[in-house]
Every structure is written in C-alpha cells, then in structure tokens.
Amino acid sequence: MASTYEETSEGGYSTAYAESDYTDRDTDREEGEQEPEQESEEEEDRSCATVLTLRQEDSQEEEVEEDEEEDDEGRLQLVTEVPSGELALLLAQSDILHTGDASLKAEGFQLLLGNRAEYGESREFLWRLARAYSDMYESTEDKQEKKTYAQQGREEAELALKKNGLNAECHKWFAVLTGLTSQHESMHGKLKSSHILKEHLDRAIALRDDDPMCFYLLGRWCYEVATLDWLEKKAAAALYQSPPSSTLHDALENFLKAEELSPGFSKTVRLYIAKCHKELGNISEATNWTELALKMSTNSDDDEETSELEAQLRVLTDRKI
C-alpha cells in the first residue's frame, strides 16, 4: 500500500511536473509568438514616424525653396525696375534737360520737383531728383542756397537707396551729394562724410564698372586723402581705428581709368591727370596732359576750383613756349 501510494505519489508528482513543464512550454511558445507581433507593431510605429518625419522635412525644404524663389524674385524686381508710360517719358525728358545748360537744368529740376508727389515712390525718379539738386547746387553762387540744395538732394538720394540698394546710380548720386554737403561741414564732419562717400563710390563701381564719373570721383577722393595735411591726418587717426589712406599713384590710376572709359569725358579729369604727374615729378607728362585739357572747351560744369587748377597748370605750357 505504501509502495503503491508512493508510486502513485511519485507518479502523480511526475505527471504534475510533466503537465507543469508542458504548460510552461506552451506559455513560452505563446509569449514567443506574441513578441514578433509586438516587434511588428513597433516597426510599423517607427516606419510611420520615419515617413512623417520625411514628409515634414520635404515640406520644410519646399517652403525654404519657395522662400528662396520669392527672395530671388524680390531681388530681381529691385534690380530690374523699368519705368513705363508717363513716368518713362518724364524721366527721359529730365535726362535730356540734365545735359543742357544751366537754364535747361533748372527746367529739369522744376519738372521733377513738380511731379514729386506723384512719382516719389520710384527709385528711378528719386535718384534723378537728387541729381537735379546737384545741378542746382552747381548753378548758384549763394552759399546758403548751395547748402540747402546739397542737404535736400542728399535726402532724396538716401530715399532712393532705401528703395533699392542694388542700383549704381543711387549709390553714385548719394556719394556726390554727400561730398557737396561736406563742403559746409567742420573738419571732423568732412572726414566722416569722406568715409561715407568712399563706401558708396565703391558700391557704385562694384555694381557698374564702366561709369567714368565714378572713377573721376574716386580719383578726387584718393587725391584729397593723399594730400591731407598733418592736422587732418591726426583728426582722421582719432576718428577711425584704421584711418583712410591713399597715394597720388592711386589718384592718377583712377583719373586715367575715367579718361580711358570716355576720352575727353571732362576737362577737369585731364587737369587732375596733369596735376598728379606734376606732383610726382613727371613734368613732361604733366605738360602734355595740360595741353590736352586746354584744347577742350570750357563748359558750364567747370567750377571755380577747376578754373584755378587750369591757371596753375597753364604755367607748364607757357614755359614750354
């Protein structure tokens, strides 16, 4: 009995153990079967997240491309603003009047001034109005009128620059009016204006490198910096960590560039070429350029300074005779 019980007991134990082992194996198998399903779900989640991320990145790239295209279109519009209709005719008329004598330039100034309210949003109109103020500055002898024309013209040129900073004419006439305004400032004011003038001349030339007037003006800047006196150099050193510097050779190079781009462009250009040669000790070249300058007729743009320069250099040709 005991033996039977023990066998039964052992057999029962064995059976129970076997069932438990089988049940565990089934449980393990079921858990094993569930794991791939969980991994599959996780993979699907990762896949969806990846697709969503890629779509977001594609969308962002498209937005960036659209923004870049809009920026390019905006820059293109700034550069390629072409007036049409009545404005185009007005600007063409002002260009013609600008090439005339003092009375025609005054007529051109009044023409633009009278249309300021209607076309004041056009950068092409504004830089021409600034140019007309420069014409009026040159035509008057009254110092207060000169100062007013220079200041108002500079304001118009600045407005033109705000409309479009990629236009060579806007930079050029802002530089011109800055130079005219500086004639009525203190020494420190002139030095500051000189720095601004040079900056905008460089930008104008970078945008358009075939304008003889810009190279003439740059030559003048180089000449004035090269011939600063001791006090002016000290003041410049106090104003700027790196004060402006230039040489007579730099000035001569720019004057010659202006002459190369447009031979006979200006009597003043040839006189300054002669003056640079004279101060560099090239008397023969100075004499030749003075003769070339004196053969040109005097025009309304020649100012008192040019007349004085002509008188100084005429001595060279008198000596030759």
| Domain of residue 187, CATH code | 1.25.40.10
The answer to whether position 151 is within a domain reads yes
Q: Are residues 100 and 172 both part of a single domain?
A: yes
Q: What is the mean pLDDT of residues 152-156?
A: 97
CB 131 within 8 A of CB 173: yes
Same domain? 180 vs 243: no
205 with 99, same domain: the answer is yes
If pLDDT is split at 50, 70 and 90, which confidence band does 56 have?
low
Please identify, among 194, 209, 224, the residue that sits at the C-terminal boundary of a domain: 209
Residues 230 and 194 in one domain: no
Residue 27 is predicted with a pLDDT of 44
Structure-model confidence comparison of residues 310 and 283, the more confident one? 283
190 and 236 part of one domain: no
Per the structure, the count of domains in the chain is 2
pLDDT category, 233, cuts 50, 70, 90? confident
| pLDDT above 70 (res 286) | yes
What pLDDT score was predicted for residue 301? 59
When mean pLDDT is compared across 65-79, 205-219, 242-256, 261-275, the lowest value belongs to 65-79
Residue with tokens 């040129």: 157
Evaluate whether residue 316 is within a structural domain. Answer: yes
* 294 and 191 belong to one structural domain: no
Give the tokens for residue 44: 């699907």
Residues 15-49 have pLDDT tens digits of 333 344 434 444 444 444 444 444 455 555 555 55
The more confident residue out of 64 and 295 is 295
Give the whole-angstrom CA distance, residue 279 versus residue 281.
5
CB of 224 within 8 A of CB of 197?
A: no
Q: Is residue 80 part of a domain?
A: no
Per-residue pLDDT at 53 exceeds 90: no
Q: Is pLDDT at 100 greater than 70 in this prediction? A: yes
With tokens 């040159």, the residue in question is 138
Question: Does 251 reside within a domain?
Answer: yes
User: Do 95 and 203 sit in the same domain of this protein?
Assistant: yes
The verdict on 161 and 274 lying in the same domain is no
| Same-domain status, 91 and 205 | yes
CA 126 to each of CA 72, 183, 216, 288: distance values in angstroms, whole numbers, following the listed order: 24, 23, 23, 41
Residue 259 CB neighbour total at 10 angstroms: 22
Would you say residue 8 lies in a domain?
no
- The residue written with tokens 């057999």 in the block is 11
CB 278 within 8 A of CB 317: no
Residue ranges making up the domain that contains 244: 212-321
**Claim to verify: residue 168 and residue 185 sit in the same structural domain:** yes
Q: 221 and 202 share a domain?
A: no
What is the reported pLDDT for 102?
93
- Please, are residues 172 and 180 in contact by the beta-carbon 8 Å criterion? no
Q: Which of 167, 182, 209 is the last residue of a domain?
A: 209
Distance, CA of 31 to chain centre? 71
Q: Both 200 and 232 in a single domain?
A: no
229-237: long-range contacts (C-beta < 8 A, 24 or more apart)?
Answer: 231/187, 232/187, 232/191, 235/187, 235/188, 235/191, 236/191
> Does residue 34 fall inside a structural domain?
no
Q: Is the pLDDT of residue 159 over 70?
A: yes
Is 259 part of a structural domain of the chain?
A: yes
Confidence of residue 135 (pLDDT cuts 50, 70, 90): very high
Asked if the structure places residue 32 within a domain, the reply is: no
